[in-house]
Amino acid sequence: MPGRESRLQVQKTYKLYIGGKFVRSESGRIAAAAGSGDGSIVANYARASRKDFRDAVVAARSAFGGWAKQSAYLRGQILYRAAEMLEMRQGELAAELARSSGAKRAQAEEEATASIDRLVHYAGWTDKFSQLFSSVNPVASSHFNFTSPEATGVVVVVCPDEPSLVAMVSLVAPVILAGNTAVVLASNTKPLPALTFSEIIATSDLPGGVVNILAGERAELAAHFASHMDVNAIVDGSGDEVIGRELQRGGGFNVKRYVRRDLTPAQWRTDAAENPYWILDTVEMKTAWHPIGL
C-alpha cells in the first residue's frame, strides 16, 4: 500500500449554478483555479460558454414572474434566510477566500463577515425602498396620480476581480431585492468564493433561477451579455474600460440599461457599497392614474 504522503489529492471541480441546479458547462470546458499565495492549483471549475449564459437567462426569465409577484416583505425574509445560511457556514466562506486570494485568515474572516452584513443591510431595504422612492404627484384633473418602482426583469451582473465575495453580494443584493432576477459572472481571477456562495444559497429559501452564477472569461462573454435580447439591464462592476465599452455598444440593440459601479477594492468593503439608490438603477418607475370619486 502506498504511504499517505504519496496519495494524489482529488481536487474539487466547482459547477455553474443555473436555475437552482449545479451543472457542468455544456462545452465540457474546465479551468484551473490558482491560489494567489504560491500559484498552486487549488481546485477546478466549469468554464461557462455562450450556451450556458443563454440557459441562465432562460432560467432567470422563468423565475422572474413568480419572484416579482412575491410581497416585498416575503422577499426580504428570504434574503434574511440566505444571510442566516451564510452565517452558519461563515468558516467555509472564510477558508475559501483565504486559499483563493492568499489573504491571511483574519482578513478572509473579515470579508466573509462583511458579505453577510451587506446582505442583511440590503434585505432590510426590500420592504422600505418603495415607500422612499414612490410619490403621489399633483395633477390638474380630478385624479390621483401615483408613481412607484417596479422590477425591470433579467439583469446581468459582472463582478470585479477583487474583492471577489463582498463585491458580488453588494452588486447582486440591490438587484434581486426589487424583484429582478440575476445572471452573475463571478470574478475572473478568483471565482471560487462566488461558486461556494452559490452552494450555500442553494440550501436557502431563494427560488431557483433568481440568482444564477457563472464562472468564465469576461472578454469571451461580454458581447453575448450585451446582445442578448432578453436581458433588460447590465450592472458592470468589472472596472474594465474595454469590457465596459463592449457592454454599452452591444446593449444598444434592445436599449438595455447599462449601469457602471466604479469602486476601488477598498471601497467595496465600506459604506460606499451600501447605497440604497443603487436599487433605482434596475427598476422602472411606473405611473398610474385613478379617478377621484364624487
Domain total in the chain: 1
Give the C-alpha distances (Å, rounded to integers) separating 141 from 135, 268, 269. 17, 47, 49
d(CA 94, CA 105): 7
d(CA 229, CA 125): 30
pLDDT at 148 over 60: yes
Q: Is position 3 within any domain? A: no
Q: What is the pLDDT of residues 211-234, one digit of tens each?
A: 999 999 999 999 999 999 999 999
**Buried b vs exposed e over 41-69: b needs ≥16 C-beta within 10 Å?**
ebbebbbbbbebbebbbbbbbbbbeebbe
Which pLDDT does position 36 carry in this prediction?
Answer: 63
Classify residue 190 as exposed, middle or buried by CB count within 10 Å of its CB (0-12, 13-18, 19+).
Answer: buried
Which domain does 196 fall in, by range? 12-291
Q: Mean per-residue pLDDT for 105-118?
A: 93
pLDDT band, very low/low/confident/very high, at 114 (cuts 50, 70, 90): very high
Q: Mean per-residue pLDDT for 157-181?
A: 96
Closest CA to 153 of 231, 251, 235: 231
Residue 87, phi then psi, degrees to nearest 5: -60, -40
Q: What is the pLDDT of residues 121-135, one digit of tens each?
A: 999 999 999 888 877
Q: Mean per-residue pLDDT for 258-283?
A: 95
Classify residue 6 as exposed, middle or buried by CB count within 10 Å of its CB (0-12, 13-18, 19+).
Answer: exposed
Q: Is 274 helix (H, G, I), strand (E, B) or coil?
A: coil
Supply the CATH number for residue 24's domain. 3.40.605.10
d(CA 239, CA 261): 7
Residue 88, phi then psi, degrees to nearest 5: -65, -25
Q: Tell the residue number behind the cell numbers 436599449, with chain if given.
A: 255
Which pLDDT does position 38 carry in this prediction?
Answer: 65
Q: What is the pLDDT of residues 43-62, one digit of tens each?
A: 899 999 999 999 999 999 99
More confident residue, 137 or 275: 275
Q: Is position 160 within any domain? A: yes
Q: Mean per-residue pLDDT for 128-148?
A: 83
Q: Mean per-residue pLDDT for 76-84?
A: 96
Q: What is the pLDDT of residues 191-211, one digit of tens each?
A: 999 999 999 999 899 999 999
Which pLDDT does position 143 carry in this prediction?
Answer: 80
User: Mean pLDDT across the chain, nearest whole number?
Assistant: 91
Q: Taking a C-beta distance cutoff of 8 angstroms, is the pair 63, 208 a contact? A: yes
Q: Taking a C-beta distance cutoff of 8 angstroms, is the pair 200, 177 a contact? A: no
More confident residue, 94 or 250: 94
More confident residue, 34 or 154: 154
More confident residue, 144 or 152: 152
Which pLDDT does position 46 carry in this prediction?
Answer: 94
Length of the chain: 294
% of the chain residues with pLDDT over 90: 71
